[in-house]
Structure formats: C-alpha cells, structure tokens
Amino acid sequence: MDQQKRIVKKVIKRRSFLKSSLISSISLVALPSLLNFRNKEIKYLLDLGVASKLFDGKKCWCHPRAGIIPRHGENANPKIVMTMNVLDLEGSDVFRGIFGLHTNNLGESWTEPILNQPLAPPAMKPLKVLFDQLRLAIFGQNGISHRVHC
C-alpha cells in the first residue's frame, strides 16, 4: 500500500522540456494542414501577363501595388485595382505621379493607366522662381534684410 501512495518525481531539465514542448507543438499545428494538401488538386494558374508597358529611355513604370475587391468583377470574380508610379530616369528618385488601372476579368484585359489627380505631386516651379521668392522673403522689395517668421 505504501508503494501505491508513493509519487515518483522525475526531474526534467528546463532545456529538454522546452525542446520537447516546442517540437510537439509544431507537429500538432503543422501536420494536420500538411495532410490536407496531399490529395488536393491545385485550382489556380499563374500567368505572366503585362498590364501596361512604359520604358522609353526617359521614364518607366515602377512600384506597382495591386489589391482586390471581392465579387465586383465579371462573373462574381474579384475586381483587381493597381497603382504605379512613373519614374523619371533623368535624375535620382524623381517620381512624376501615381497612375491607376483596373481589370474586371482577372487580368485578361486592363484599362489604360490614368493619372490619379489627388495623388499627383504639386507642379514644380522653375528654380529661378523659387530663388526669386526666397530673395523677396529674406531681403524684401528694397533689398533690405528683415526677419522672416515661420
């Protein structure tokens, strides 16, 4: 009877406990999802279609970003919207506006890219105009220096 009441304690080192816990946790989480994929057929196709081309040696498309709107395309497919910038190759990191386009038929055809006016950069003033405005702000109309408060 004393033997039945006696509790046997087994000391497990912390490192060993963490290692075995981690391995079993990963196994329990990953194995069911891996077993799900073994007999299923993949039901999609990747295509390297081109939505729009632009490279003329002076500018090109860059930074495309796409998103989907579920069930707003043809046959309840998603509508795909995309934005992209025009990069001016004459200088370093000179961007000329954000253009948008979309497709309703999963990329079979795209609309023409149009400039998104609210996201367009402000019109750049010629450098001489900026210097003239700065000189007026600092020296005033008569060329006399006065303090500019910002």
Range of the domain at 104: 59-124
If you average pLDDT over residues 11-21, what whole number do you get? Answer: 74
Give pLDDT, residue 25: 72
In this structure, the answer to whether residues 31 and 64 fall within a common structural domain is no
Q: Which three-class secondary structure state does DSSP give residue 68?
A: strand
In this structure, the answer to whether residues 120 and 69 fall within a common structural domain is yes
Using alpha carbons, list the distances in angstroms from residue 44 to 29, 33, 41, 48, 98: 26, 19, 9, 13, 30
* pLDDT per position as a tens digit, 79-104: 999 999 999 888 777 888 899 999 99
pLDDT at 147 over 60: no
* pLDDT per position as a tens digit, 29-77: 776 666 666 666 767 788 888 999 999 999 999 999 999 999 999 999 9
In a domain, 77, yes or no: yes
If you average pLDDT over residues 122-150, what whole number do you get? Answer: 61
In this structure, the answer to whether residues 26 and 67 fall within a common structural domain is no
Using alpha carbons, list the distances in angstroms from residue 87 to 25, 55, 58, 67, 99: 48, 10, 9, 21, 11
In this structure, the answer to whether residues 65 and 34 fall within a common structural domain is no
Q: What is the DSSP letter of 55?
A: B
CB 87 within 8 A of CB 95: yes
CB 123 within 8 A of CB 96: no
Phi, psi of 39 (to 5 degrees): -115, 5
In this structure, the answer to whether residues 73 and 21 fall within a common structural domain is no
Q: Which three-class secondary structure state does DSSP give residue 26?
A: helix
